[in-house]
Structures are given as structure tokens and as C-alpha cells.
Chain A
Amino acid sequence: MNKYFKQAIRGITHNKSRTFLTTLGIMIGIGTVVLVLSAGEGFKSYINSQVEMFGSNTLSIETVIPASTKQRNANANTSNNIQNNAGTNAVPITTLKNKDIEDIKSIPNVKNAYGAVLSQQIVSYGNISKNTFIFGANASRFDIDKGVIASGRPYTEEENRGLGQVAVLGSTVATDLFGNIDPIGKLIRVGNYNLEVIGVYEPRGGLGTTDDDQIFIPITTLQKKYLGIDYLFYGIVELYDGNKAETTALDVTDMVRRNHSITDPSKDDFSVKTQAQNLETFNTILSAVTFLLIAIALISLVVGGVGVMNIMYVVVTERIGEIGLKKALGARNKDILFEFLIEAVLLTLIGGIVGILGGALFAYAVAKIAQSFNFAWSFIVPLYGIILSLSMSMIIGVVFGVFPARNASKLNPIEALNKE
């Protein structure tokens, strides 16, 4: 084996700039694979950190349109075209109530819970105004959520029950409205009411509309004064033991079904999800995207492999004399085959290693940029990604190197010698 490597390395170092250009395609392909895998891991770490902030030992209860109702509406739509189906999914589910949340709190593994309602209102202070998401929740949200209040205080459950006109601002909202002024104690106009700012959150970072862009107020205030409703959009349940999330989710489901007088699971107007399930959904989507990107990178790898094959054919032609000499000196066809095959594999392997380094460097840059925007994004190059990349480069070397190498090994020594 050693002797083949010696000859192969001699071949590769023979023309270094050509070696570099030949392996460029492999470098780009492998670099992309590593970047995609690494960025995927980084994104996962970010999502996990978001989940941590949200509370990892939690369940969520969301309202859903019962499967059986959907079916009935669909049937109605097909049988009667006059009925407009636009409203079918817009009909809000109004059955999830605060009582459900209070009852859930009595389940043994449940530590705490809150209900939530969302709205959008014009918020103004002085002459600055802003269209902002208003998040209404019970005071227990401040115990469950991991967000840190930088100044001031959260509202209390008493303020919640008494329809208190108080607000806790996300950091972006606070900066936008107040600039350098201390917002605590100031009155802001939210929709038709004046609310007193009692607390401001520390920045949390994140994608899209984040907690930083929201205002948090007592849920009863939002329900009664703004929306005129008595139901919840969703609820969050905190658990003592996150390992029992699955069974507790079943207990919660039973409890809410009893409250809603549901006997047939297909008529459920809510769904209980564990964080594991939420993460699973996210991971499924992430894997699909990752596979798609890797498939694109594979095309680049195939193109790179064809490049390597092309050059190996040129190299065989260039070294016809040398091949003839080696055969005259006693090299068997097998020896020549291995020399060229190992040269091709070394070429792609070099491309692979440079690609891994380059891809990791890019992934590091992505992580640094994300971190500079306050994302909890870790730089991870997964080991399986490195192993995958290295084995892919070697396989490409073998696949695309075997034909030129076979050509070389089959050369007639005299013809080969006479070409010199």
C-alpha cells in the first residue's frame, strides 16, 4: 500500500496549481455540505435555547377546529355551493376558558399554568406611535417564562383580576417609544386606554416578531376592555417533572375534555402538545430543508468528480511513458491501477479536507454574525458531518478514478514506452 501512496503523492505534487483547480469542485461541494450541516446544528441550538427560555418543562394547549366539524363543513360546502366556505376556518374556537387553566393546576404533576390572548393595538407615547402586539396573560406567566425584567416589576395576579391598566414592555418597544427616558411610571396610550408602564424586559433576541416587540398586560384587561371576549387563545402548563410530560399531557387532555363535555376524541376542540412534540415538528422541517440543501451540494460534488475524472484521463495520457517504464520494470496491471486510483482518491480527499475546513470557517462566520444579533447560536461542526464528508470524497475519488486508472493499467508497455 505504502508504495502506491508514494507514487500517488509524487503525481499530485507534480503540478500543484492543477491539483488545486481539479479539487475545487470537490472543495465547494464538501464545503457546502459541512456549512449546511453545521448551520443546521447552530439553528437547532438556537431553537433549543428559545425553548429553554420558554420553559422546557411545559405543555401547550392550543385550540383546534374539531376534525369532525371540518368534515361536516367540507360536506356542506360540496353539497351546497351557495354557502361560502371563507368563514369555515375563521370561526374562532371559544371554548378554552380560564376555568380550564385553573382546573389543570390541580393535576398532580402540574406546577403552574397560564392562559394567553393576543391582540394588535396602536401604542403611543408623546408623538411616537407604533402598531404593536399586545400579549395578555395571567400573572403566573412571570413565574414560568424565563425572561428577565430589567427594571420595574411584573404585574400581580390581584392586578390581573382587577382589570389593572398596567403594562410590561419588551425591550424594543421601550426603546422605540421612550428612547433614553426611563419608561417606569409613565402612561402610554394602548388602543382606547391609558396603561401605566410598570416594568421593562431585558432584550431576548430572536427571529421575526419577538417578545422584544411586544407589550405584556393582564389577560383580563385585554379580554374585557379591548376584545370583549371570555375565552383563551392558548394556555401554557408548567410541570414539576418534565420526564412525565407525556402522561401529564393525557391527564390535561382528560380534564379539558371533561370540562368541555367531549366524549368523542374526534370532536376535540383543543390539542395538548409537549415540548418534545413541538421540537419534533421543528426537527422534521429542519431535516427536510437540510436534505434538500445537501442534495444540491451533491450535484456540485458530482460535477467536481467529473472534473477529477477528466484530469485523471489527462494525467494518464501525460504519463504514458512512465507507465510503460514501470511495466517494463515489473509493475503488474494491478500496481498501475492502484497507483492511479489512490492518486484520484487522494485528490478528492484533499478537496474534501479543504472543503471541511472552508465550510467550518463559513459556519463559524454565520454563528458569529448570528451571535452579534443576540441569537443564542452555537458554532457546532457535527462529527457525523465530517465523517460523511470524508467518506463521500473518497467514494467520489474511487467512482470517478476507476475508469482512468483502468485505462492506465491496460496500456501496452511497448506502446507506452515508445510514446516517450
Chain B
Amino acid sequence: MLIQLKNITKEYDNSSAAVTKVLRGISLDVEEGEFLAIMGPSGSGKSTLMHIIGFLDRSTAGTYLFDGENIEEFTDDELARIRNERIGFVFQSFNLLARTSVLDNVILPLTYSKMKDHVALATKALEAVGLSNRLNFLSNQISGGQKQRVAIARALVCNPKVIFADEPTGNLDSKSGTTVMSILGRLNDEGRTIILVTHDRTVAEHAHRIITIRDGSIVSDEKNANPKKSEMIEEES
């Protein structure tokens, strides 16, 4: 089992008297190689859950085992190391470094790792998302779909076990969105675990398993027997 959550809760102690309960006892197991979608309306707690699973945040109570290791005992530096080596993030708003080349953007996670041959690894990751002809373009000189593919290359470059995608198609037109989903699908076919957070049913249907969260609790956990396959649509270059 890759990810085991047991009774995870998250509370925010605001300055006002009320304690906001964002997650109310989430228990979830994810196998290696799964393609999981977490659905829910905004405010449901799905982003908070992804932050906790993605080691960006800590739970208030409950246990989280990743690859059999108890995350609660990890120091901040060790969590940073896990984020660097074992997972990759793709964000809704791409979060590329401005006025920086595509290649340097993909190299960025490598600079915080112990890996060598940064240029070769980054070039390979960009080839995997079909952008080997854009290496020296600046991040503001490419289209939104290309930006998200750069972000996927950046998530891939350290060869992680899990890729977290938070609304990856949220800022994209349907054509670019389809391309991004086909790339994520292909990465899953290659054996990588994908955890997708979205409020969009049609996007979630690419996953093999869909869980729905409402008000901090899992309300449904269903297998998707017939996951949608997107064709890679080549953008004009």
C-alpha cells in the first residue's frame, strides 16, 4: 500500500472562538499505480486533503503512512526531501518562474535534489510531454497548454512515484485540457500513481477511481470501470 490515511482530521483555530473543522476523519488507502480523482465542490476540503497527502501540510490528528513510513514523525526538511524525490505537483495556475526558460523551469526541482545531469534529465522530461522544441523559450512566450505541459515535465523530472494534479485543466481551453489529461493518462499507464483533484466530472472520469468529499468527509468511493481515454491532440507549434 502506497498511501494509508487513518482518521485524518484538520482543524483551523481561528482567532475567533469557533474552530473550523476542514477534514473530519478521512480514511483512505491508495495502491501504487492507481489513477485516483478527488472530487468535491469548493470548500469541501479536497484541496486541504491533497496538501496533507502531498506533504505540504500536516494533519491535526490521525495517522498517515506513506510507503509504510509514518509521516507524522518526519521533520520539515525530511518532508521537503519527500516532496522533492517521491512526488510531483501540477497546479491549476502552472506556477512557472517568470522570464525563465522552459528548460530552467524544469531544472528547478533538480537543483534541490542530489541528482546530477540536470540538463539531460530536464530535456528528457520535456521530450516526454512533447516540448523538446521549446527548451529555450521563456515561460511567458508559450501558450497555456504548453505551460501546463512544462509543469508536468517539472513534476516528472525527479522521477516521482506519485503525481498530484490540482485542477490541472482549470485554466485551459478544452483542447489543451484534453492534451494534458492524455499525458496524465499515459503516465499512469507507465505505472505512476496519479492523484487528481477537480470539481469537474468530465475531468474526473479519466480516473479509475473517484472519491467524493463533502464538508470534510468522504461521501462516495467508486470504481470507474470505463475510464475516459483522451487522444493526444498536437497543438500548432
Other-chain residue from B56, B89, B112 in contact with A331 (beta carbon distance below 8 A): B112
- Is A328 in contact with B56, judged by CB distance below 8 angstroms? yes
* A10/B100 contact (C-beta < 8 A), A325-B95, A330-B84, A414-B51 known: yes
**Is residue A413 within 8 Å, beta carbon to beta carbon, of the partner chain?**
yes
Other-chain residue from A328, A334, A420 in contact with B77 (beta carbon distance below 8 A): A334
- Is A332 in contact with B154, judged by CB distance below 8 angstroms? no
**Distance of B64 from chain A, by nearest CB (Å):** 16
**Is residue A315 within 8 Å, beta carbon to beta carbon, of the partner chain?**
no
Q: Mark A301-331, 1 if CB is under 8 A from B, else 0.
A: 0000000000000000000011001111111
**Distance of A8 from chain B, by nearest CB (Å):** 12
Other-chain residue from B76, B93, B100, B109 in contact with A329 (beta carbon distance below 8 A): B109
Chain B: residues with Cβ within 8 Å of the partner, total of: 25
**Is residue B42 within 8 Å, beta carbon to beta carbon, of the partner chain?**
no
**Is residue A72 within 8 Å, beta carbon to beta carbon, of the partner chain?**
no
**Distance of B13 from chain A, by nearest CB (Å):** 15
* A420/B93 contact (C-beta < 8 A), A329-B84, A332-B80, A414-B56 known: yes
**Distance of A12 from chain B, by nearest CB (Å):** 13
Q: Mark A1-36, 1 if CB is under 8 A from B, else 0.
A: 001001100100010000000000000000000000
**Distance of A317 from chain B, by nearest CB (Å):** 16
Taking chain A's interface residues, is the majority helix, strand, or loop, or is none over half, making it mixed?
Answer: helix
Closest residue on chain A to residue B76 by CB atoms: A333
Complex Cα spacing A14 to B140, Å? 14
**Is residue B99 within 8 Å, beta carbon to beta carbon, of the partner chain?**
yes
- Is B83 in contact with A330, judged by CB distance below 8 angstroms? yes
Q: How many inter-chain residue pairs (CB < 8 Å) link A and B?
A: 59
Closest residue on chain A to residue B95 by CB atoms: A325
- Is B77 in contact with A333, judged by CB distance below 8 angstroms? yes
Complex Cα spacing A347 to B76, Å? 30
- Is B154 in contact with A329, judged by CB distance below 8 angstroms? yes
Chain A hits for B113, CB < 8 A:
330
**Distance of B30 from chain A, by nearest CB (Å):** 19
**Distance of A376 from chain B, by nearest CB (Å):** 54
**Is residue B167 within 8 Å, beta carbon to beta carbon, of the partner chain?**
no
Instruction: List B residues 99-131 near A (Cβ within 8 Å).
Output: 99-100, 108-109, 111-113
Select the residue from B51, B77, B80, B84 with max chain A CB neighbours within 10 A. Answer: B80
Instruction: List B residues 9-54 near A (Cβ within 8 Å).
Output: 51, 54
Other-chain residue from B83, B95, B111, B154 in contact with A6 (beta carbon distance below 8 A): B111
**Is residue A335 within 8 Å, beta carbon to beta carbon, of the partner chain?**
yes
Other-chain residue from B76, B77, B99 in contact with A14 (beta carbon distance below 8 A): B99
Chain B hits for A329, CB < 8 A:
83-84, 89, 108-109, 112, 154
Q: Mark B78-96, 1 if CB is under 8 A from A, else 0.
A: 0011011100010101010
- Is B77 in contact with A3, judged by CB distance below 8 angstroms? no
Complex Cα spacing A232 to B162, Å? 99
Chain B hits for A332, CB < 8 A:
76-77, 80-81, 112
Q: How large is the interface on A (under 10, 10 to 19, 20 to 34, 35 or more residues)?
A: 20 to 34
Instruction: List A residues 79-130 near B (Cβ within 8 Å).
Output: none
**Is residue B233 within 8 Å, beta carbon to beta carbon, of the partner chain?**
no
**Is residue A392 within 8 Å, beta carbon to beta carbon, of the partner chain?**
no
Complex Cα spacing A6 to B107, Å? 12
**Is residue A417 within 8 Å, beta carbon to beta carbon, of the partner chain?**
yes
Complex Cα spacing A6 to B111, Å? 10
**Distance of B161 from chain A, by nearest CB (Å):** 14
**Is residue B57 within 8 Å, beta carbon to beta carbon, of the partner chain?**
yes
Closest residue on chain A to residue B86 by CB atoms: A330
Chain A hits for B85, CB < 8 A:
330
**Distance of B12 from chain A, by nearest CB (Å):** 12
**Is residue B142 within 8 Å, beta carbon to beta carbon, of the partner chain?**
no
Chain A hits for B93, CB < 8 A:
420
* A328/B83 contact (C-beta < 8 A), A14-B99, A417-B91, A420-B95 known: yes
**Distance of B162 from chain A, by nearest CB (Å):** 13
* A327/B97 contact (C-beta < 8 A), A335-B112, A414-B56 known: no
**Distance of A418 from chain B, by nearest CB (Å):** 9
Select the residue from A321, A329, A332, A413 with max chain B CB neighbours within 10 A. Answer: A329
**Distance of A414 from chain B, by nearest CB (Å):** 5
Complex Cα spacing A7 to B83, Å? 20
- Is A330 in contact with B99, judged by CB distance below 8 angstroms? no
**Distance of B57 from chain A, by nearest CB (Å):** 6
**Distance of A321 from chain B, by nearest CB (Å):** 7
Complex Cα spacing A334 to B81, Å? 12
Chain A to chain B contacts (Cβ below 8 Å), 23 pairs: A6-B111, A7-B111, A10-B100, A321-B95, A322-B97, A325-B95, A325-B97, A327-B56, A328-B54, A328-B89, A329-B83, A329-B84, A329-B112, A330-B81, A330-B83, A330-B85, A331-B112, A332-B112, A333-B77, A333-B80, A414-B56, A414-B57, A417-B95
Q: Could you list 7 further interchain pairs (A-B, Cβ under 8 angstroms) beyond the known A329-B154, A330-B83, A334-B77?
A: A7-B111, A14-B99, A329-B112, A331-B84, A332-B81, A333-B76, A335-B112
